[in-house]
Structure 1
């Protein structure tokens, strides 16, 4: 596949997707609860940022949850000797060198965005549980999912249906399925 050469390039290319993903999550949140900049400490007269241990814990939990959602949808990830989880300066990652069908690869790629930034706010909104910290984390996840969304678009555009994908380090390859 033709992919960005490194993570910095992928992040820069995904900035427009970051904005679109945030707008989608904000739109979903707005169905159930007003959202404003004042929810996040920004008013016309001041900027107030409160950082407490609870928010730091929730940020770490969000990172772990996001990556676990990628991981649990990889077939046989528990037994796999070709699946890895890790952290970098830019966040977490899950990578597998297992061969995966295109449809499954798409699902693995988009699962954290769909679950945390679309389904989760719909459920919380129905029950009236969308607090400002949760709104912040939902929007943050949608923005952080922009590289996943870029990857999704590249797969949809470049890989034929019923193909099998395989990653080898930073490169992803595909071949037509024999089925």
Structure 2
């Protein structure tokens, strides 16, 4: 794993090599701004999902966050900034821990930019693993945590805010769920910078015949 301070760029030589080896370039937003704009509707959907889960055992309203019909009161202090940074780090760690052998990998990156934090791996991974890596922060932080915290009476207003904020920040991750539908079920994925490629690897015919004989 490598720690970097900017988003890795696509290597044109690797791009040509991958296409020459029958890898297919996945159709996806070409830059972060486009991804954010396309994922905006998913911000709303994700937020309502989290609010719905919170309401199962708890209550939530705009007044909890200082928003009232006649006034808006928002307090920002050092502890608030610390919690926001902590949420950002935890969110990205949730992506990271589901990447196979991320500690030993020299093709897996974690970093911070002015736009936030990111995790990216250029290792080959299965489609199912790609899905898990993408949605892990949303499912764990914004769906599972509020249920557990509510049951034990630990869901405070601050935690509600962070859970919803995580839902908003998960919109690009959820966009990946729609983008990945263009990839066959048994495909392998590989990244080259921000470009994603997929390929269905052919099983050696002789090995397949030997495997069939075992059954």
TM normalised by structure 1 equals 0.97
1:33 and 2:33 aligned: no
The total of aligned residue pairs comes to: 178
Structure 1 stretches of at least 4 aligned residues deviating more than 4 Å after TM superposition: none
Query: How far off is 1:30 after superposition?
Result: 0.8
Please list every run of 5 or more consecutive structure 2 residues that lacks an aligned counterpart in the other structure: 1-25, 204-215
Give the aligned partner of residue 167 of structure 1.
191
The correspondence of residues 98-177 of structure 1 with structure 2, limited to 5 A, is 98-155=123-180, 157-177=181-201
Match of 2:88, SS? helix
Structure 1 residue runs of 5 or longer lacking an equivalent are none
Q: Aligned to 1:5, which of 22, 30, 42?
A: 30
Q: CA deviation at 1:61?
A: 0.6
Distance 2:114 2:149 in 1: 31
Shift of 1:118: 0.3
Distance in 2, matches of 1:154 and 1:88, equals 24
d(CA) in 2 for partners of 1:111, 1:126: 21
Alignment of 1:19-58 (within 5 A): 19-58=44-83
Match of 1:60 in 2: 85
The Cα RMSD (Å) is 0.9
